[in-house]
Amino acid sequence: MTHLPYILVSYALGIAIPLGFGLAALHRMRAVGRKLAAIDRRTRS
Amino acid sequence: MDVQPSLAPPPPPPPPLGGHGLHRFANPGRFLRLSGAVLPWLAGAGILLTALGLGWGLFGVPADYQQGDAVRILYVHVPAAQMALGGYLVLAFVSLASIIWRHPLADLAAAEIGPVGAAFTALCLGTGSIWGKPMWGTWWIWDARLTSVLILFFLYLGHVVLVRAFDDPTRGQRAGAILALIGVVNLPVIKFSVDWWNTLHQPAAITLSGAPAMHLSMLWPLLTASAGYACLFGAIVVARTRAAVLERRLQGLLLVRTEAAR
């Protein structure tokens, strides 16, 4: 395969950026969900 | 002229212009329920389609007769570019909704779209640069297409900074919405830059008016990767907006508790 380093870096960026943002959003949702569940009875059920 | 006081109740406010359908979804409680149901499917479809599109582009597509295997960068670069432009269009629409209806959910969504759009624009610029080095012999050139996309990146960054720059969030959101709407002018410039000026960047291979300028064996993986990125972009924005709505609810609850404790 020609230009392999260029291709690999592009694909690595193309996977890492959406993955990073997705995991960060998931972590943020879970963190706020835990805090809400600790103080708000409605979110525990 | 005398004005007679009336005992009749005031008439109900007129419905928002064209907003009944949109307002139904802009209710935070309804948004949380709806997004909770949609998010797993959107994220699942995004992961599946992106993996399929990128894998297909990397291993299942023949090398280009001129560019060799470097053409495989296309399957990351083009979907990222589509999301950069599409994301800005959504940001502008949400900003318009924020200015017209002053809905808090529109403000929260706009603040969450900005960083994601900026990241996908950076991905588009980065992969374009990586593709440009072996093909054009340079990482960067002040070409009309590249420069207008760089301006789009700065518009995203400006929006991200502006909505967070004021002590009063409402002022920041208003300023960000105005910037987002002004920046829409840049979208047709990006789209048609390759037609209006002599650019090093190639013209569009897929148009609405004509047959695609690429073979179907290359087009299908590109469409798959584009659909995957669109689902991923949507899932990330929905997840971030959900988190922002929940954070606001948490702040409200903490405020009520603090007031009650006094």
pLDDT digits (tens, 9 = 90+) for B44-65: 999 999 999 999 999 998 888 8
Give me the pLDDT at residue B48, please.
98
Structural domain harbouring B170: 30-200+218-261
Q: Which residues of B touch A6 (CB under 8 A)?
A: 70, 73, 130-131, 133-134
Min Cα distance A28 → chain B (Å) is 6
Q: Is A16 at the interface with chain B, CB within 8 A?
A: no
How large is the average pLDDT for residues B99-103? 89
Q: What percent of chain B has pLDDT over 70?
A: 89
Which stretches in chain A have pLDDT values below 50? 45
C-beta atoms of B253 and A40 within 8 A: yes
The whole-angstrom separation of Cα A18 and Cα B70 is 22
Q: Is A29 at the interface with chain B, CB within 8 A?
A: yes
Asked, for residue B6, whether it belongs to a domain, the answer is no
The whole-angstrom separation of Cα B203 and Cα B176 is 32
C-beta atoms of B122 and A17 within 8 A: yes
Asked, for residue B22, whether it belongs to a domain, the answer is no
Structural domain harbouring A13: 4-43
The whole-angstrom separation of Cα B72 and Cα B115 is 26
Report the domain count for chain B: 1
Asked, for residue B12, whether it belongs to a domain, the answer is no
Asked, for residue B19, whether it belongs to a domain, the answer is no
C-beta atoms of B123 and A6 within 8 A: no
Asked, for residue B8, whether it belongs to a domain, the answer is no
| Region label for B102, one of left (φ > 0), alpha (ψ between -120 and 50) or beta (otherwise) | left
Asked, for residue B2, whether it belongs to a domain, the answer is no
Cβ B99 vs Cβ B181: under 8 Å: yes
Give me the pLDDT at residue B258, please.
86
Asked, for residue B24, whether it belongs to a domain, the answer is no
The whole-angstrom separation of Cα B229 and Cα B47 is 8
Q: Is the pLDDT of residue B209 over 80?
A: no
Min Cα distance A40 → chain B (Å) is 8
> How many beta-carbon contacts under 8 Å exist across A and B?
94
List, for residues B124-180, the tens digit of each pLDDT value.
999 999 999 999 999 999 999 999 999 999 999 999 999 999 988 889 999 999 999
C-beta atoms of B127 and A40 within 8 A: no
Interface mutation vs chain A, best among B69, B231, B245, most A CBs within 10 Å: B69
- B70, B120, B126 member nearest A7 (Cβ): B70
Report the domain count for chain A: 1
